[in-house]
Structure 1
């Protein structure tokens, strides 16, 4: 099998390279005049035309790859929302704006979260047209759930989404920027008014209504909360009603992908349709064509029921191309078929390249296509049940093998029993999805609606029970991994080399893989040694709270009030990635009030540096000196006279202080020539040794 047999794969790789280069240069604020890029594309097209005329294949191929590379770069530039001149962030400040809801509302504990498109802004009393998406958060107590197409008049400007403020914290701002969203606005009831309803797309409006209908059917037919939550998530793509314990169980078993409508669900439906409708292909002259139209039609119908989410759209496009390729006899060149679908999707939205779901979906399919045929040949069970289980195991292993390095890179954990759990998950999912779709279609037919409701409910019961069973096994999930992108590349290289060794039995692949394993081992040993010697103290930014981390080698101590110490959400969002990156093995928690004197002062010593932490109202005068002073809970409102006879290198104000108090302290520090920072402005502050 030669690489020349996959020309579209080559085009895709250069297109991806162009997108990647743009994203990297944009991340580092490196810009190139777009006119130069366009002139360069024109020049290369001239070279390409001349190379055809004078029969120069090397020049022709090089020019074509360069054109595709620049096309990827320029398309990404064009698709970047902030580059549009009429985007609202490029326009003057405004007092009001009109926004249309363009998505399904997501129910949060206190708000409805939804995407909106800004259509016009009011500048100095005049309305001007604008574009650009923003996130809106509607207070649940003061408003009804916003619907797709609702138009609102909103007072004030949306606020820019802030960058992460703790080491290694998830960059939610960049995540939203890749979706074309740069701002958000919390609406508490007085600053907005619904002024109309105008759906931007009738198809999307129908899709969202179908999605809501699906949720209502499951709520009516499935009484138990866990089963209803999983049904709504698996079939309709709605995860609002899933219990946290159930989420943790699915995550521990390596089946969390089941709860997000994705390529796996479309793939299961694709296989089910092939099994149920395969007989059509053998009927008549146009059997294959009829089968293809039916399968693609049902897949797109399913996509509509899920609200046309991006994950389902991508998977539906991918499997549609696979089915078309099979129908026209191109199954042997499925890599080109996959490449065409990926190229089409990236032309529509180049930012899908850095979407985790997009990456994992294609890696899983490539793993299955490449490895499954070889694995399946290892055994030939006669029993149809065992044969089905064996095939499911091969599919799951191939998919997991090609996705686990990237999964560890993004999620910092590995499900130990995935090879055992996933065949069970796939088996029950094979019943859940068809039964769920049949129930949606036949819900109002008395007998059939009851039958499919029964099948769906009990399939979900068995699925959830098996998930909880695997979660309770010892060492169900290995956590705390933190690998670099370089390590990801090395791991993929090792996997491919070992696979080639077993397929071709050539020892050169084994030797190279062992050499890479040695390099990876040496890298990890050196990293482990450096982590064992590390010492750092970090003043964390935690909204409305105070917290300090002290890392000594591979142990971390988090000091905060009892409420914060017991908050899993705080740990997972603000601390976990930082501890994983630092190789922390032992975590300790200390309640800050245990080390506070009667004046509300805590004294800390870190590698010879004195730290003074004030946690309650203090009206006296500080005496002596400290390298750092941390102010919490509005402990000091006037720096003078508290710091008159006290020397310090830096005053740190965390987010437990009221905002107006922080602003007053900043002005006072400027007047008194004291060095003061607010963690709200700077993010976490670390002292490293």
Structure 2
């Protein structure tokens, strides 16, 4: 009974944990489960019967059993909701079609992402033409459209008629590479397609949600205000990102600087911006109208209206809607004066969001937002309570001191307390989120405290000034429309506000870049954590917090035990990798790249003698390096510069390499009829090598696998692959099947 009383205020915490556990179970291994909704209905009937039976017998044990049964049913509800939300299970889904798609009709479901050469967006299919007949269908397709003259950016709500067959989303092609296919699947997108301008036609404008269509239009109009008044390009891009969440114009250097200092959250409209707006509105209303009758109720209405209006003008993005829901529940809980803790309020918000979309649980933003808020609610008051600077300053004041001196002590105490409160908040947020930062982003910025202590207040001021600029611009336009004679003169007001905004943004931009220059070694990067290791880190943190609260050594012992398991797993992984040797022919579009790995060291050779771009390294090579905890990765252009222990021969477009006992042949042009047989372990065909199966068999035999590297064209691979397989060869296309991996002979 004692446990029930203790848990009574946290009812929704238990429910959301059970729901999340069910969703996680489905995400990690529930795809092949049968239909679960009949079992869920049966569970509900069991609860109803159990309640009747418990009321009849009046036993406390029966109530406990019903409580456990209810948690089990909520767990099953999580499984079922994730199953029902999975579009690929539907019979009319694109993945269930057995015949090729000739045309399909789809609607643009999101604002495009602007890339250097393409627009990327998502289409939601409503019908397909198969075998000359149209039929209903569903499915999400991630499409790219080239940015060319005369090609307009896709607009949310446009209905397209598209010719061609969308391809299933590709699995990761290189070791450690980001699993984009899984990421798309979590958003109910299972196909991809590059669409040329002559492959599609805009039929109509029928947005899935007219509210969101108007919202996106409003965001673009407001972005025009910043584009007009904020003249510096970098400051304009940051203003648009900070206030409206539009990040297309932020350059890569700025993004990297913010990532390296742990301040990326400033560039996206999320819980920080909504929280700042909520705090400003709450403070202003309390100061101005705190004594007014019914203040508690109508101020809550004003707060809700402001938060949801802000969500509307920022395009109703997923992150801001999530934050708006969270703060809405906080407002409602306050106004109703429910006897509930903040943990329960957050649990209710999470429960509602997960019921709406179970796949939100796999969203990084959702995870970071709720963990950060939970950590702040629990830890920030405790950390802040370590020191009270206002009390320290008060103790330094003496009756004989002059009034300016006493005011100086008071002001210094207030300032130090404010800095300490901000420090406590930043530290509290990091405690719960840093394991996820290591898992998803493989880095940890030690400068996060210095960066956030200055950048967050400055960006907060920039947010308020940016919203003020939008408000002032709207007011001046209204006055100008009513009194045209004042229109030209009034324009000076938003321009002055824009100057203030531009200078604030310039200040925190420069501060972030300065931190990066002054503390170049403060970024710990290349950290690889597996999912089980991440759970172990969370377990250690949780047990340490329990120990600090309960003051019992048993909890510290458990934390040390988990830490030992974590250290052992890291040591075992390092030992396993240290003895691993592997050749990797990478899958990088239009490139020939080989990696010769010996433990945590590698020599990466670009066979075509052209250097890898920074993007190719970052997305194709570096993830595998992090996965291996690499200490040295060297890049070489061409065979001549590479220190690969090999004997090279170049003749008739043929390069022969012997590495760690592994014999490799790289064929670029053709094979001379006079060439003697040469036994090898792997044959790599490059740049559409002009060879026939008989020539390959005569020189290398049919035993070694034939590898088509990424420099080979798709038409060439399709033709040669069928010929080689018919001749008895084993083939591997790195473009379609991913990187080719081969270990040396032992």
Same fold (TM > 0.5):
yes
Q: Distance in 2 between matches of 1:529 and 1:124?
A: 56
Question: Which secondary structure state, in structure 1, belongs to the residue aligned with residue 423 of structure 2?
Answer: helix
Q: Distance in 2 between matches of 1:179 and 1:314?
A: 16
Give the corresponding residue for 2:123.
Answer: 116
Give the corresponding residue for 1:519.
Answer: 565
Give the corresponding residue for 1:62.
Answer: 68
Match of 2:21 among 17, 21, 24: 17
The structural deviation recorded for 1:609 is: 1.8
The reply to whether residue 634 of structure 1 matches residue 688 of structure 2 is yes
The reply to whether residue 404 of structure 1 matches residue 434 of structure 2 is yes
Give the corresponding residue for 1:449.
Answer: 494
Tell whether the 8 Å contact from 1:281 to 1:288 is kept in structure 2 after alignment: no
The reply to whether residue 609 of structure 1 matches residue 662 of structure 2 is yes
Match of 1:468 among 513, 518, 521: 513
Q: How big is each residue's C-alpha offset from its partner over 1:463-483, in whole Å with a ceiling of 9 and x where there is no partner? A: 101110111113131111001
Q: Distance in 2 between matches of 1:388 and 1:191?
A: 59
The structural deviation recorded for 1:531 is: 2.5
Tell whether the 8 Å contact from 1:101 to 1:115 is kept in structure 2 after alignment: yes
Unmatched tracts of structure 2, length 5 or more? 391-411, 477-490, 641-647
Residues 64-83 of structure 1 correspond to what in structure 2 (within 5 A)?
64-83=70-89
Structure 1's 321 and 4: CA in aligned 2 closer, same or farther, altered over 3 A?
A: same
Q: Distance in 2 between matches of 1:105 and 1:369?
A: 36
The structural deviation recorded for 1:272 is: 2.6
Question: Which secondary structure state, in structure 2, belongs to the residue aligned with residue 289 of structure 1?
Answer: helix
Give the corresponding residue for 2:102.
Answer: 95
Q: Which moved more, 1:242-251 or 1:151-160?
A: 151-160
Q: Distance in 1 between matches of 2:325 and 2:422?
A: 23
Give the corresponding residue for 1:597.
Answer: 650
The reply to whether residue 487 of structure 1 matches residue 533 of structure 2 is yes
Tell whether the 8 Å contact from 2:577 to 2:600 is kept in structure 1 after alignment: yes
State how many pairs are aligned: 687
Q: Distance in 2 between matches of 1:645 and 1:540?
A: 25
Match of 2:222 among 214, 224, 241: 214
Unmatched tracts of structure 1, length 5 or more? none
The structural deviation recorded for 1:414 is: 0.6
Tell whether the 8 Å contact from 1:281 to 1:290 is kept in structure 2 after alignment: no
Structure 1's 499 and 542: CA in aligned 2 closer, same or farther, altered over 3 A?
A: same
Match of 1:644 among 695, 698, 710: 698
Q: Distance in 2 between matches of 1:203 and 1:403?
A: 33
Give the corresponding residue for 2:367.
Answer: 359
Structure 1's 105 and 83: CA in aligned 2 closer, same or farther, altered over 3 A?
A: same
Residues 189-204 of structure 1 correspond to what in structure 2 (within 5 A)?
189-204=197-212
The structural deviation recorded for 1:447 is: 4.6
Structure 1's 622 and 433: CA in aligned 2 closer, same or farther, altered over 3 A?
A: farther
Q: Which moved more, 1:649-658 or 1:310-319?
A: 649-658
Residues 280-319 of structure 1 correspond to what in structure 2 (within 5 A)?
282-319=290-327
Structure 1's 397 and 35: CA in aligned 2 closer, same or farther, altered over 3 A?
A: closer
The reply to whether residue 343 of structure 1 matches residue 351 of structure 2 is yes
Question: Which secondary structure state, in structure 2, belongs to the residue aligned with residue 644 of structure 1?
Answer: helix
Question: Which secondary structure state, in structure 1, belongs to the residue aligned with residue 154 of structure 2?
Answer: coil
The structural deviation recorded for 1:332 is: 5.7
Structure 1's 123 and 394: CA in aligned 2 closer, same or farther, altered over 3 A?
A: same
Question: Which secondary structure state, in structure 1, belongs to the residue aligned with residue 456 of structure 2?
Answer: helix
Q: Distance in 2 between matches of 1:514 and 1:281?
A: 53
Tell whether the 8 Å contact from 2:584 to 2:739 is kept in structure 1 after alignment: yes
Q: Which moved more, 1:494-503 or 1:353-362?
A: 494-503
Tell whether the 8 Å contact from 2:171 to 2:181 is kept in structure 1 after alignment: yes
Q: Distance in 1 between matches of 2:607 and 2:463?
A: 46
Tell whether the 8 Å contact from 1:392 to 1:426 is kept in structure 2 after alignment: no
Question: Which secondary structure state, in structure 2, belongs to the residue aligned with residue 181 of structure 1?
Answer: coil
Question: Which secondary structure state, in structure 2, belongs to the residue aligned with residue 9 of structure 1?
Answer: helix
The structural deviation recorded for 1:544 is: 1.8
The reply to whether residue 666 of structure 1 matches residue 673 of structure 2 is no
The reply to whether residue 425 of structure 1 matches residue 421 of structure 2 is no
The structural deviation recorded for 1:220 is: 1.1
Give the corresponding residue for 2:709.
Answer: 654
The structural deviation recorded for 1:138 is: 2.2
Residues 138-287 of structure 1 correspond to what in structure 2 (within 5 A)?
138-141=145-148, 142-279=150-287, 282-287=290-295
Q: Distance in 1 between matches of 2:651 and 2:232?
A: 52
Output the TM-score relative to the length of structure 2. Answer: 0.88
Tell whether the 8 Å contact from 1:280 to 1:288 is kept in structure 2 after alignment: no
Structure 1's 94 and 399: CA in aligned 2 closer, same or farther, altered over 3 A?
A: same
Tell whether the 8 Å contact from 2:594 to 2:607 is kept in structure 1 after alignment: no
Output the TM-score relative to the length of structure 1. Answer: 0.95
Give the corresponding residue for 2:575.
Answer: 529
Give the corresponding residue for 1:572.
Answer: 618
Q: Distance in 1 between matches of 2:39 and 2:350?
A: 24
Tell whether the 8 Å contact from 1:622 to 1:642 is kept in structure 2 after alignment: no
Structure 1's 511 and 25: CA in aligned 2 closer, same or farther, altered over 3 A?
A: closer
Tell whether the 8 Å contact from 1:152 to 1:193 is kept in structure 2 after alignment: yes
Match of 1:41 among 25, 40, 43: 43
